[in-house]
Amino acid sequence: MHRSTSFIIPAAVLLCAGLADGSQSAWGQWSPTRPIQLVTGNPPGGATDVIARTIGQPLSVRLGQNVVIDNRPGANGNISAEIVAKAKPDGYTLLYANNSLVVINPHIYTKWNLNPLQDLIPLVTTITNQLVLAVNPKSVPVDDFRGFIEFARKPDSSLFYASIGNGSQHHLAMELLKQKAGIDLTHVPYRGGGPASIAVMAGDNHAMFGGTSVVTHINSGKLKGLAVTDKKGWATMPSLPGIGEFYPGYRIALWHGIFVPRGTPPDILVKLRAELNAVLAMPDVKERLVKSGAGEPYITTPEEYAALIREDYESYGKVIKAIGLKVD
């Protein structure tokens, strides 16, 4: 179901703009007195889980309370979003999600009772990243991206690709490549990057697009990286070409962010935003995120965050409409 953002994004901008300077004097001081639950829509081992834990530990120190990572995989993050949206808006239940949750899922899930653009408040962006196309070198014996396309075009080719779920960027990245390159692979969705990458390494699938979940395995030689979804020069895989170099107009970029339930008081938003952005600015946090392949810290203003959501919502909506993707 296509949901319009015109009535919710401006409201988010107005709410957040008044808090953009981080000042708490007008709202009072909020400090947590018990552990905070950071809910993710992926199982342990995937990119969102790795990043949530990397951010959660120093955030615990700054807030003086434990930040507990709660993995709730399923329905491409929808389950985790519903948990947080229905939680009490008191600052103790946060959602860690990639952008597909708010800019892709509303377009493709026709029976979803939640509208994340209405029921969640965007708090902070956390990272920006690319995806890398990885293959099992034993079942796909190619040297580079061109070789993969040629291999996939063979008449007797019967390739399967894994993703972290229907409608994820990982899924759409391959579907767009199939359109651009005129190749055919069968989609096999998994509940997260960890299980998907294990399936490719085991030979159950031939290829996948991934981030953190495949970088370690590429470095170890268990998977082979062929290309990235945005521009060449990605810090994690600087030698790999961008697919757009071969197929103009091809681009899949992703970012992650943290959300809170609608109705969360302004003083809590201010406190959490300030502490999270302080964590993202830590050099050691950046180093851990980049080395793991999770991406680079991405700090935005509330206005920039709202505009980012609006732009991606509209652009992904066009892509999804073009390929006729719906998930019931």
Instruction: For residue 308, count other CB atoms closer than 10 A to its CB.
Output: 20
User: Does residue 24 sit in the same domain as residue 97?
Assistant: yes
CATH number at residue 143: 3.40.190.10
Residue type at position 156: D
* Nearest one of 129, 85, 78, 79 to 105, comparing CA atoms: 78
Report the predicted TM-score, pTM, of the whole model to 2 decimal places. 0.74
254, two tokens: 């992703």
Domain count across the chain = 2
User: Does residue 120 sit in the same domain as residue 259?
Assistant: yes
Q: Give domain status of residue 139, yes or no.
A: yes
Q: Give domain status of residue 141, yes or no.
A: yes
Each residue's pLDDT expressed in tens, for the chain with a length of 328 residues: 444 444 344 344 344 444 444 444 444 589 999 999 999 998 887 778 889 999 999 999 999 999 999 999 888 789 999 999 999 999 999 999 989 899 999 999 888 889 999 999 999 999 988 899 999 999 999 999 999 999 999 988 899 999 988 778 899 899 989 989 999 999 999 988 889 999 999 999 999 999 878 988 999 999 999 999 988 888 788 999 999 999 998 888 789 999 999 999 999 999 999 999 999 999 999 999 888 778 889 999 999 999 999 988 987 887 788 778 887 6
Residues 6+ apart with CB under 8 A from 14: none
User: Does residue 73 sit in the same domain as residue 212?
Assistant: no
User: Does residue 191 sit in the same domain as residue 154?
Assistant: yes
CATH number at residue 123: 3.40.190.150
Q: Give domain status of residue 328, yes or no.
A: no
Domain that holds residue 166: 132-245
Q: Give domain status of residue 2, yes or no.
A: no
Query: Could you tell me which residues are beta bridge partners of residue 67?
Result: 36
Kindly give the residue spans of alpha helices, DSSP state H, lying in 202-258.
212-220
Q: Give domain status of residue 94, yes or no.
A: yes
Strands (E), the chain: 36-40, 67-71, 93-98, 120-129, 132-135, 159-163, 185-189, 207-210, 224-228, 254-261, 296-297
User: Does residue 158 sit in the same domain as residue 198?
Assistant: yes
